[in-house]
């Protein structure tokens, strides 16, 4: 597969590996609501934060929304969005690698981008995820050609894009979504006697049926209601009587079954009669005059709790207008805030309740806000004071039940909560030694992850970290056995070995030193790894 090359590529493709593991330190005064939800807001560099999450969340994230700087030469107060292409690629490549590692096998990545870097993004994402795992490129209409945009020379740009990747397309199973569309005016006939046997059915025009229902002529209705209200009331009538509103359609004769062809032939010979075809497990079919009678009810789908004329979700999203976007969440984020309705659609497509969602460019907090309202778990990462000044107040308001954005659509009344974290010490110093002050649990999580490749599920109560593929892993560190002497609890001796939780298979034991001989280690099926010299710092 062709690869994209840029000036610093050889360094950038190793940046994720060379990024040190860091601790995540809770900031209690910024946390809010229930503390046991698993939701996290993290203040810090997104590359460092993603690396810190790996030992705990690798392979666990169901959906990632990434909204990196568009590189549009616009001066945002919170982002340097005027990056050279090389710098932009250097920023994004390691982030995509770490996000891939955090995704579950059936997970989905959505990267929001405009046409400035779209081609470059696809090139590096194809390399990292595999071209076969590219799902779609969605065109998102974000505005209209009005105002100052309309006086620009040339074509007016009103769209940007969502590039979609699965972790493993063979496991990808998105939810089926529909979007609301205007009433299909081709459905212009009305069945007047639906309760009678189909052989006695009578049809009239839709407008005649609506006129009869309202007790007025169509001309009088249009005059009294006005054009807009007339259409609204006619649409309501169609939805309410969707089992009677029909459209005769001439089917492709060669593409239907022999049974359907027989019905078509018979209905042509006797055009005034209605013919019926029962199809077990499928919708029944009705024919008249060589045409199939299609009912409007077959077009109805539930969208945001209401029955509407719906069509399957396509790759052109022109129905999510950014009206009142400035008011969503109660925080200002000029020109780069994304509508809650957009994130809602992404989560509806790719997740279910309680799934884990990640946004490493949290911005104004939209992804976390929508995930909270839709009862998903979430991790949001944002750098500097921006995380405290914008994300934090917005999320506190969401937990307390604020009513902007999608709140009414999902019946959000508040609840839940989150913990706030900042980046702490690196687990290892620049020389590869364990940093002073590192506790047992983060070191255990790191060793477990680099040894097994899966997230750590244990706690800080036992030197036995767990079993993976028949191998038991142990860590002797920081007085975990209750021996706080200089080397007693961290050194593998016969006494310490006897006190360890039992494991019958092969064992890997991490510690400062070992006083057991080679023969004893072989007999006990122990591989000893000395801290810090025989463990990976990165």
**CATH at residue 171:** 3.40.50.150
Selected residue with higher pLDDT from 484 and 131: 131
Averaged pLDDT, 39-63:
96
Shared domain for 171 and 193, answered yes or no, is: no
Least confident interval from 99-108, 137-146, 155-164, 198-207: 137-146
Token representation of residue 420: 């706030």
Shared domain for 294 and 335, answered yes or no, is: no
Supply the pLDDT for residue 277. Answer: 96
Supply the pLDDT for residue 396. Answer: 97
Other CB atoms within a 10 A radius of the CB of residue 290 amount to 17
Supply the pLDDT for residue 76. Answer: 46
Instruction: Judge residue 66's burial from the number of C-beta atoms within 10 Å of its C-beta, 0-12 exposed, 13-18 middle, 19 or more buried.
Output: buried
Supply φ then ψ for residue 291, to 5 degrees: -115, 150
Three-class DSSP category at 266: helix
Domain assignment present for residue 372? The answer is: yes
Per-residue pLDDT tens digits for 426-440: 988 887 778 888 888
Domain assignment present for residue 345? The answer is: yes
Task: Determine what percent of the chain is predicted with pLDDT higher than 90.
Answer: 72
Shared domain for 99 and 126, answered yes or no, is: yes
Assess whether pLDDT exceeds 70 at residue 536: no
Mutual angle of helices 366-373 and 340-350, in 10-degree steps: 60
The string over 6-41, giving b where at least 16 C-beta atoms fall within 10 Å of a residue's C-beta and e elsewhere, is beebeebbebbeebbbbbbeeeeebbbbeeebebbb
Shared domain for 156 and 196, answered yes or no, is: no
Least confident interval from 155-159, 506-510, 532-536: 532-536
Domain assignment present for residue 220? The answer is: yes
Instruction: Judge residue 253's burial from the number of C-beta atoms within 10 Å of its C-beta, 0-12 exposed, 13-18 middle, 19 or more buried.
Output: exposed
Scan for tokens 């009103």, then name that residue.
158
Shared domain for 291 and 209, answered yes or no, is: yes
pTM above 0.75, yes or no: yes
Shared domain for 201 and 54, answered yes or no, is: no
Averaged pLDDT, 269-281:
95
Supply the pLDDT for residue 453. Answer: 84
Averaged pLDDT, 24-50:
94
Shared domain for 77 and 211, answered yes or no, is: no
Summary mean pLDDT of the chain = 91
Of 266, 299, 332, at which residue does a domain stop? 299
Assess whether pLDDT exceeds 70 at residue 486: no
Shared domain for 59 and 141, answered yes or no, is: yes
Assess whether pLDDT exceeds 70 at residue 80: no
Supply the pLDDT for residue 127. Answer: 98
Assess whether pLDDT exceeds 60 at residue 495: yes
**How many distinct structural domains can be found in the chain?**
3
Domain assignment present for residue 182? The answer is: no
Selected residue with higher pLDDT from 124 and 80: 124
3-state secondary structure 333-366: CCCCCCCHHHHHHHHHHHCCCCCEEEECCCCCCH
Scan for tokens 């990632």, then name that residue.
64
Averaged pLDDT, 319-348:
83
The highest-confidence range among 60-74, 289-303, 308-322, by mean pLDDT, is 289-303
Domain assignment present for residue 217? The answer is: yes
Q: Quick one: CA dihedral 358, 362, 365, 370, positive or negative?
A: negative
Least confident interval from 67-76, 201-210, 485-494: 67-76
Domain assignment present for residue 431? The answer is: no
3-state secondary structure 152-204: CCCCCCCEEEEEEEECCHHHCCCCCCEEECCCCCCCCEEECCCCCCHHHCCEE
Domain assignment present for residue 307? The answer is: no
Assess whether pLDDT exceeds 90 at residue 145: no
Supply the pLDDT for residue 296. Answer: 97
Scan for tokens 């969340």, then name that residue.
57
Domain assignment present for residue 55? The answer is: yes
Shared domain for 353 and 446, answered yes or no, is: no
Give dist(CA 288, CA 274) in Å, integer.
5
Of 299, 325, 343, at which residue does a domain stop? 299
Residue span of the structural domain in which 481 resides:
440-530
Q: How confident is the model at residue 400 (pLDDT cuts 50, 70, 90)?
A: very high
Instruction: Judge residue 211's burial from the number of C-beta atoms within 10 Å of its C-beta, 0-12 exposed, 13-18 middle, 19 or more buried.
Output: middle
- Close Cβ partners of 388 (under 8 Å, ≥ 6 residues apart): 30, 43
Shared domain for 322 and 387, answered yes or no, is: yes
Of 246, 275, 299, at which residue does a domain stop? 299
Averaged pLDDT, 390-408:
96
Shared domain for 162 and 103, answered yes or no, is: yes
Other CB atoms within a 10 A radius of the CB of residue 281 amount to 4
Q: Quick one: CA dihedral 444, 448, 451, 454, positive or negative?
A: negative
Question: Taking the mean position of all CA atoms in its chain, how far away is CA 210?
Answer: 43
Selected residue with higher pLDDT from 532 and 344: 344
Phi-psi map region of 215: left, alpha, beta (phi>0 left; psi -120 to 50 alpha): left
Three-class DSSP category at 99: helix
Supply the pLDDT for residue 130. Answer: 98
Shared domain for 281 and 331, answered yes or no, is: no
Supply the pLDDT for residue 534. Answer: 75
Is beta strand 513-514 parallel, antiparallel or unpaired with respect to 507-511?
A: unpaired
Assess whether pLDDT exceeds 80 at residue 243: yes
């Amino acid at each position: 597969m062709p690869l994209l090359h840029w000036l610093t590529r050889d360094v950038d493709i190793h940046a994720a590996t060379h990024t040190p593991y860091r601790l995540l330190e809770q900031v209690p005064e910024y946390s809010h609501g229930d503390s046991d939800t698993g939701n996290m807001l993290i203040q810090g560099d997104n590359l460092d934060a993603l690396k810190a999450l790996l030992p705990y969340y690798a392979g666990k994230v169901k959906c990632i929304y990434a909204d990196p700087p568009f590189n549009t030469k616009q001066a945002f107060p919170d982002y340097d969005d005027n990056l050279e292409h090389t710098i932009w690629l250097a920023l994004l490549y390691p982030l995509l690698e770490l996000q891939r590692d955090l995704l579950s096998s059936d997970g989905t990545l959505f990267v929001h981008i405009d046409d400035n870097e779209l081609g470059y993004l696809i090139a590096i994402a194809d390399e990292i995820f595999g071209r076969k795992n590219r799902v779609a490129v969605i065109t998102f209409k974000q505005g209209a050609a009005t105002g100052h945009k309309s006086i620009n020379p040339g074509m007016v740009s009103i769209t940007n894009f969502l590039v979609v990747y699965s972790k493993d397309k063979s496991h990808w199973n998105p939810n089926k979504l529909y979007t609301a569309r205007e009433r299909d005016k081709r459905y212009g006939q009305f069945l007047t006697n639906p309760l009678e046997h189909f052989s006695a059915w009578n049809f009239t025009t839709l407008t005649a049926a609506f006129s009869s229902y309202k007790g007025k002529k169509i001309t009088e209705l249009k005059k009294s209601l006005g054009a807009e209200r007339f259409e609204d009331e006619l649409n309501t009538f169609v939805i309410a009587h969707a089992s009677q509103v029909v459209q005769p359609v001439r089917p492709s004769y060669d593409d239907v079954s022999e049974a359907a062809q027989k019905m078509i032939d018979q209905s042509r010979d006797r055009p005034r009669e209605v013919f019926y075809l029962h199809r077990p497990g499928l919708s029944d079919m009705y024919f008249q005059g060589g045409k199939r009678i299609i009912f409007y009810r077959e077009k109805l789908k539930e969208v945001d709790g209401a029955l509407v004329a719906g069509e399957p979700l396509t790759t052109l999203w022109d129905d999510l207008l950014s009206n009142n976007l400035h008011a969503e969440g109660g925080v200002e984020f000029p020109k780069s805030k994304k509508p809650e309705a957009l994130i809602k659609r992404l989560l509806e497509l790719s997740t279910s309740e309680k799934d884990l969602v990640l946004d490493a460019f949290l911005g104004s907090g939209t992804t976390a806000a929508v995930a909270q309202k839709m009862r998903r778990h979430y991790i949001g990462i944002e750098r500097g004071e921006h995380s405290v000044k914008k994300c934090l107040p917005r999320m506190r308001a969401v937990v307390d039940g604020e009513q902007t954005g999608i709140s009414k659509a999902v019946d959000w009344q508040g609840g839940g909560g989150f913990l706030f974290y900042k980046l702490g010490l690196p687990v290892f110093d620049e020389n590869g030694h364990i940093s002073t002050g590192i506790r047992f649990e983060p070191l255990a999580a790191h060793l477990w992850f680099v040894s097994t490749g899966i997230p750590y599920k244990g706690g800080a109560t036992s030197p036995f970290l767990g079993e993976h593929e028949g191998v038991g892993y142990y860590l002797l560190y920081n007085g975990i056995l209750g021996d706080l002497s200089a080397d007693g609890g961290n050194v593998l001796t016969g006494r310490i070995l006897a006190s360890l939780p039992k494991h019958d298979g092969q064992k890997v034991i991490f510690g400062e030193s070992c006083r057991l001989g080679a023969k004893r280690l072989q007999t006990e099926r122990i591989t000893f790894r000395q801290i810090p010299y025989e463990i990976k710092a990165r």
